[in-house]
Amino acid sequence: MTTESATFRTNLKPVWCAGCGDFGLLAALTRRALPNLGIPNYKTLIVSGIGCSSRIPAYVDTYGFNSIHGRAVPIAQGAKLAKPELTVIAIGGDGDFFSIGVGHLPHAVRRNLDITCIMVNNFVYGLTKGQDSPTTLRPELGEKQFVSPEFYTPINPILNMTTYGISTRASFIAQGIATDVPHLGWLIEEGIRHKGFSFINVLTPCVTYNPPELFNTIKEKASYLKDGELVELPASSMEKPWPHDPSNISLALKLAQSPVLGKPHLGIFFQGK
Amino acid sequence: MRRSLTIGVAGAGGDGVVVLGTLLQQLAASQGYFSQMPKFYGAQIRGGGSAVKLSLDAEGSSLPKDSLDILICFDWGKYLEFQKELPLRSDTLVLYENIPPREIDLPEKSFKIDFSGISQEATGAARSKNIVALGLLDRILALSEDRVKAAIDKNKELKLLKKTLPALEAGGHLLTELSFSELKLSPVHAALPKVIIDGNSAIAKAAIRAGSRAFFGYPITPASEIMDAMQEELSHGRGAFLQAEDEIASASLAIGASLTGAKSFTSTSGPGFALMTESMVLASSSEIPLVIVDVQRCGPSTGIPSKSEQSDLNHAIYGGHGDAPRVVMAPYDVEGCYRLLIESVNIAQYFQALVIFLSDQWLGQTPVATNDDFLKKDYSIKELKRPAGTDLEDYRRYRLTDDSISPMAVVGDPGLVYQTTGLSHNEKGRPAFDFETNQRMHEKRWQKLVPLCQRDDLVKVFGEEESSRGIITWGSSAQVVLDTINELGLEDKVKVCVPELICPLPERVERFIRATKKLLVIEMNYSGQLYHYLRSQIDLPRKTKTYNRAGGRPFSRKELTEPIMEIVR
């Protein structure tokens, strides 16, 4: 019996649809981040909630707990508090982290325990077959607004996870894309290395319940952040581009506010001390 | 001379009612007197009424009697809020500060005393009026003056009295023209100082004793004191402590800590207990040790936060979706709070089980002065069954074993990495959705708890076990049931069964019931939750009666007399 896993993959076959973005996350974790970090598999715990992406612990050869909907973050914190030498990763979807479990997030942020939260944001409830999630992007797709106009017009019914993370001053905030495994693997590595609470939003395609143009647009418009280089802004922006500085939280907020279908930024938005 | 006395104190916030009761309890305890001091308070944060009912006893920690021997009243308006808990008799000694309203019928021995004025005179401030009253009580009860002084010097809880000694002395010089010889406490047999402890602090102490170094909670009446004590115990790196954002989180945090091998627990009361439901069944299904302490208060919903009830039994036994086996424990006194919490941690660890520990507001918040032997006793401490031998080669987290307990690796153990889930899973902990695995794993989880049914020691039986008249009661209600039987002199006529382990139901309870022709079930909830549970498990005698009602006021001996007499007849 080895104590370190060469591949970090169990022999289980994922339940995901062919082409699911979750495969990208699985590869980023097991082929990049975990092997690169060199932490023994027995010192690592992955806790997930419920959803497509939350099935991931069964596929990763570390300690794992596919728990219940919304509670990955508190369970992960409990483990970290009780055994601080562990590397603890919480994984969940947009429904998991930002709907049912959203109440736990600001508290995890303010405690700043050294855990890494990976939110697999595919803008939809996939496991339950296509219902709206808090990040579902219908108005931006030009469809009819789903709230009856005689009530009120929603200004922006989408919850933006990344601005939320920044406004609560999470100490590490990054955004990756499931289709770029090396980059996502690097972000996860950096998130785990960061001493404190790390939040990584992973833009993820759902090939079954989202129209293909949604993720195609995201991929096409995505722009990588590089320290010191000018950031790209959406065509509609009146601002002057600025050199990317991940130590500046106000600039991070601007990056996060950039519409995901306008100019989704990929990289480390903010890293505090 | 009296073996025991029941003293009530009532007043408004700021009158120092609880302080007076506490100091008197401590002074008496330092001289070896047993006592219990239930507290009554309203929903106000500050400035509401409060009352205590202190029973001092030279022989054992008996409950306060129904009515008072002595009442100290600082505020009649507030007294009226608690009149039903603090009833007067014609021979009650009443010492009061203000003229009573018309509806108060003062007993013969009533004295108006200007406690505030005397305090002002003695100390320059009126606020030591409670200390003046304490001085007077010390004299009436004939607590040894020398020993009171010695205790004040020695005992840090009494240091307040050092500063207010003039008030204490002034109180001692009041009403000297009267002799209160009939209210003197008889001397204690062995003047061993008593320890003062309530259920909530006993639970925290026991958790530490059992080896728990991880606690997660959320403030809630009447359980917060457990969290406060655990914070104190576990701060400065002595363990994992977190005040969570809600009870969903506190139970989830405890599960996370438990996965790493920490003996973790959480405490709450009804509304928080409800929020923990999903964690309960997660712990049960993935066999992660978890202890939840529920200090019950009146429900449903917000109910009466500050008053006792025994109405969470159904939720403890049946709460949650799916078939999720669990252990339900219920202490009936402060010693039980300590002993059974250790037992609960042991059971949670040994059986990798969910244990629900049902205390209640009465147990939790009533300071009891008693002998400290139960704190000093040896208790066996159980640990998780860890993988060994062949497990180390081919580790299966949920391996089917003879006793259905699978050795548990904890996160951080080299070479034993596994993944677990709340999904139906196989021996390896991997998701498995076939009927056969589902059935087998259910069987395993239920079977492993069956040996607990043999735990005779977790059922207390008083009186002749083979007698045909029996009472079953549980939790803090048991104390008043036993007291009432003693007072009525019925110890030989009726036996009493108090299950401390309620689920799974010990066989001893079954034997008790089988030998009973006339059975009475007494509990403090509207619907008779224990009665219905027993009925679901055992054929009860045809002549089974129940006495149960909602909480909000402690059971009195008077109200229990008739139902008890009825089954003895």
C-alpha dihedral sign at B186, B191, B197, B199: negative
Q: Is residue A207 a contact partner of residue A123, using CB atoms and an 8 Å limit?
A: no
B53 vs B61: CA distance, rounded Å: 13
Dihedral, A158, A161, A163, A168 alpha carbons, nearest 10:
130
Q: Is residue B293 a contact partner of residue B207, using CB atoms and an 8 Å limit?
A: no
Q: What percentage of chain B carries pLDDT values higher than 70?
A: 99
Same-domain status, B361 and B407: no
CATH number where B318 lies: 3.40.50.970
Same-domain status, B277 and B390: no
Interface contact B417, partner A, CB < 8 A: yes
Interface contact B261, partner A, CB < 8 A: yes
Same-domain status, B218 and B312: yes
- State whether B278 and A68 contact (CB < 8 Å): yes
Collapsing DSSP to helix, strand or coil, A88 comes out as strand
Q: What percentage of chain A carries pLDDT values higher than 70?
A: 90
B94 vs A62: CA distance, rounded Å: 70
Same-domain status, B342 and B224: yes
For B279-433, strand residue ranges (E) read 290-296, 327-329, 354-360, 368-370, 419-421
For residue A220, tell me if it sits in a domain. Answer: yes
Q: Is B569 exposed, middle or buried (0-12, 13-18, 19+ CB in 10 A)?
A: exposed
The structure tokens listed for B492 are 């030989």
Partner-chain residue, chosen from A47, A68, A86, that has the shortest CB–CB distance to B412 = A86
The structure tokens listed for B98 are 């203000």
User: Does pLDDT of B347 surpass 90?
Assistant: yes
B549: Cβ contacts below 8 Å, ≥ 6 apart: B524, B525, B526
**What is the pLDDT, as a whole number, of residue B514?**
95
Residues of B in contact with A68 (CB under 8 A): 278-279, 282, 422
- State whether A58 and B249 contact (CB < 8 Å): no
Q: Is residue B64 a contact partner of residue B53, using CB atoms and an 8 Å limit?
A: yes
Mean pLDDT of the region A6-23: 94
Q: How confident is the model at residue A149 (pLDDT cuts 50, 70, 90)?
A: very low
CATH number where B538 lies: 3.40.50.920
User: Does pLDDT of A156 surpass 60?
Assistant: no
Higher per-residue confidence, A182 vs A160: A182
Q: Chain-wide mean pLDDT for chain B?
A: 96
The structure tokens listed for B375 are 């704190």
Dump pLDDT digits (tens) for B26-43.
999 999 999 999 999 876
Mean pLDDT of the region B529-555: 97
Q: Which of residues 86-125 of A touch B (CB under 8 A)?
A: 86, 103-104, 107, 111
Q: How confident is the model at residue A148 (pLDDT cuts 50, 70, 90)?
A: very low
Q: What percentage of chain B carries pLDDT values higher than 90?
A: 91
**What is the pLDDT, as a whole number, of residue A143?**
43
B399 vs B385: CA distance, rounded Å: 12
**What is the pLDDT, as a whole number, of residue A21?**
97
Q: Is residue A256 a contact partner of residue A225, using CB atoms and an 8 Å limit?
A: no
**What is the pLDDT, as a whole number, of residue A6?**
60
Dump pLDDT digits (tens) for B270-324.
999 999 999 999 999 999 999 999 999 999 999 999 999 999 999 999 999 999 9
**What is the pLDDT, as a whole number, of residue B190?**
79
How would you classify residue A123: left for phi > 0, otherwise alpha for psi between -120 and 50, otherwise beta?
left
In sequence order, the β-bridge partners of residue B381 are: none
Our count of domains for chain B comes to: 4
Mean pLDDT of the region B412-423: 97
Dump pLDDT digits (tens) for B514-534.
999 999 999 999 999 999 999
- State whether A43 and B422 contact (CB < 8 Å): no
For residue A10, tell me if it sits in a domain. Answer: no
Q: Which of residues 33-72 of A touch B (CB under 8 A)?
A: 40-43, 45, 47, 55, 57-58, 60-68, 70-71
**What is the pLDDT, as a whole number, of residue B454?**
98
Same-domain status, B164 and B68: yes
| pTM reported for the whole predicted model | 0.96
Distance between first and last Cα of chain A: 39
For residue A14, tell me if it sits in a domain. Answer: no
Mean pLDDT of the region A52-73: 97
Dump pLDDT digits (tens) for B351-374.
999 999 999 999 999 999 999 999
Same-domain status, B401 and B492: no
Same-domain status, B271 and B151: no
Same-domain status, B9 and B155: yes
Residues of B in contact with A45 (CB under 8 A): 259-260, 411
User: Does pLDDT of A37 surpass 90?
Assistant: yes
Place of tokens 């500085």: A245
Rounded to a whole number, what is the distance in Å from the CA of A87 to chain B's nearest CA? Answer: 10
What does the radius of gyration of chain B's CA atoms come to, in whole angstroms? 26
User: Does pLDDT of A26 surpass 70?
Assistant: yes
Partner-chain residue, chosen from B240, B249, B418, that has the shortest CB–CB distance to A81 = B240
Mean pLDDT of the region A134-146: 59
Q: How confident is the model at residue A138 (pLDDT cuts 50, 70, 90)?
A: low
E strand or H helix at B562: helix B557-568
The structure tokens listed for B225 are 């004191």
Q: Which domain holds residue A118?
A: 22-130+159-271
Minimal-distance CA residue of chain A relative to B249: A74
User: Does pLDDT of B80 surpass 70?
Assistant: yes
Residues of A in contact with B259 (CB under 8 A): 45, 63, 65, 75, 78-79
B293 vs B473: CA distance, rounded Å: 20
**What is the pLDDT, as a whole number, of residue A132?**
83
Identify how many contiguous H helices and E strands chain A contains and give both numbers. 9, 8
For residue B304, tell me if it sits in a domain. Answer: yes
Same-domain status, B469 and B526: yes
Q: Which domain holds residue B419?
A: 385-448
Same-domain status, B135 and B20: yes
Strands B419-421 and A63-66: parallel
The structure tokens listed for B382 are 């159980």
For residue B21, tell me if it sits in a domain. Answer: yes
**Cis, peptide link before residue A243, omega less than 30° from 0:** no
Would the ipTM clear 0.90, i.e. be above it?
A: yes
Mean pLDDT of the region A118-130: 93
Rounded to a whole number, what is the distance in Å from the CA of A12 to chain B's nearest CA? Answer: 9
* Closest C-alpha among B429, B425, B422 to residue B408: B429
E strand or H helix at A125: none
For residue B453, tell me if it sits in a domain. Answer: no
Place of tokens 């002057």: A240
Distance between first and last Cα of chain B: 34
Q: How confident is the model at residue A158 (pLDDT cuts 50, 70, 90)?
A: low
**What is the pLDDT, as a whole number, of residue A157?**
54
CATH number where A68 lies: 3.40.50.970
Alpha helices in B241-355 (DSSP H): 247-259, 270-275, 277-285, 313-318, 334-351
Other C-beta atoms closer than 10 Å to the C-beta of B229 total 20
**What is the pLDDT, as a whole number, of residue A2?**
39
For residue A115, tell me if it sits in a domain. Answer: yes
Q: How confident is the model at residue A139 (pLDDT cuts 50, 70, 90)?
A: low
- The backbone torsions φ and ψ at residue A57, rounded to the nearest 5 degrees and listed phi first, read -55, -35
Collapsing DSSP to helix, strand or coil, A267 comes out as strand
**What is the pLDDT, as a whole number, of residue B191?**
78
Higher per-residue confidence, B176 vs A159: B176
B285 vs B281: CA distance, rounded Å: 6
Dump pLDDT digits (tens) for B421-458.
999 999 999 999 999 999 999 999 999 999 999 999 99
Mutation target among A2, A52, A75, A127 for the B interface, most CBs of B within 10 A: A75
Mean pLDDT of the region B186-199: 91
Rounded to a whole number, what is the distance in Å from the CA of A38 to chain B's nearest CA? Answer: 15
For residue A207, tell me if it sits in a domain. Answer: yes
A23 vs A29: CA distance, rounded Å: 10
Residues of B in contact with A55 (CB under 8 A): 431
**What is the pLDDT, as a whole number, of residue A144?**
44
- The backbone torsions φ and ψ at residue B356, rounded to the nearest 5 degrees and listed phi first, read -105, 125
**Cis, peptide link before residue B504, omega less than 30° from 0:** yes
Domain final residue, candidates B139, B165, B192: B192
Our count of domains for chain A comes to: 1
Dump pLDDT digits (tens) for A170-210.
899 999 999 999 999 999 999 999 999 999 999 999 999 99
